[in-house]
Amino acid sequence: MTVKGKLILMRHGETDHNKQRLMTGQMDVPLNKTGEEQARTAGLLLKGIKIDKVYSSTLSRAFNTAALALETAGQKLPIEQRVELVEGDAGEFAGRNMDTDPEVIKYVRLYDNSAPGGESDKQVVARVQKIFDKEIRPRLERGETVVVSSHSGTTRCFDIVIGLEPTPADGTARKRRLIPNAGPEVHEYEDGVRVRSYALANPNVPLKTANQNNVNDAKKFKP
């Protein structure tokens, strides 16, 4: 008998930093009113799905997105906060504007390098891989549905961990797919193998990868 599990990944709702196009990284910036409503809308999408386990980043915007979504979905579950799921450290770029700051604009982000004083995608992938291998994958193999509420950068690193995107070579720039605020995406597993990926709001359309159209300029440091 086939054992079917689901991994539901969700970026946090909007913050004022998102709205103002400011780098956030590991700064604990809260949801704004729009972000709270986005989280509740995500909860409507989750209604009717039996969720077995919920993880979130330790940052409040991710935790509160999960909490509001679960409340709206009518599911009372504890949310386990994990430091492995926090956003990549933006270092000296934290709080600076992505569109107007000259240093941020000219910075070329490669897979294995980072902003000054920050964290590379490769480093984030390593910590996401650890929690996936130790805790999430075994749950999927048991047929559980796992929700992870985190960040755009963390979600893009999950792309590599779960095989949606191949691991980039060191020294290369990643194409970076757009991750909407509080837009749950589902990765279906059968006997521990990912078989289908889609946005929960549009389940009949396969999730686009970083090599398709919904990407950011890989040469620019994006949130």
Spatial CB neighbours of 183, under 8 Å, sequence gap ≥ 6: 10, 11, 42, 199, 200, 201
Strands (E), 83-184: 145-150, 176-177
Alpha-carbon span 86 to 88, nearest angstrom = 7
103 noted as active-site residue: no
Q: Are 6 and 146 in contact (CB under 8 A)?
A: yes
Q: Are 114 and 27 in contact (CB under 8 A)?
A: no
Of 14, 84, 87, 144, catalytic: 87
151 noted as active-site residue: no
Of 12, 17, 151, 187, catalytic: 12
Residue 81 carries which side chain, given as an amino acid letter?
Q
In a 13 Å sphere around the CA of 149, the CA atoms on its Cβ side amount to 30
Residues noted as catalytic: 12, 87
